[in-house]
Amino acid sequence: MAFSSSAWDQLKNKTADDLIAALERDGWTLEPECKGAIQVYRKSSGTRVGIHYHPKKTYGPKLLKGLLEDIGWDERDMKRLKLIK
């Protein structure tokens, strides 16, 4: 999945908290048994994604790209969820 340079410029400063807030706005829920640095979120369709959670930390480009691919968001979704403008 390719993102525009404008989208990457905005995404590279997003923290784990920003990403998790967007997941929750999109209907993902945290699995209650999750503890520690990896939090697993589930969509009602059964899709799961593990988020490496370190408060106030940003993701490297490879990890962020992988997470966004696993989640399945495109630029239109990220605009809707207010991750990018």
Tell me the per-residue pLDDT of 37-59, one tens digit each, with 9 for 90 and over. Answer: 899 999 999 999 999 888 889 98
pLDDT for res 1: 63
Q: How far is CA 24 from the centre of its chain?
A: 10
- The per-residue pLDDT of the chain, averaged, comes to 91
| CA-only gyration radius of the chain, Å | 12
5-80: in CATH 3.30.2020.10: no
* Tens of pLDDT, residues 2-17: 889 999 999 988 999 9
What's CA 39's distance to the chain center, in Å? 11
pTM to 2 decimals? 0.88
User: pLDDT tier at 30 (50, 70, 90 boundaries)?
Assistant: very high
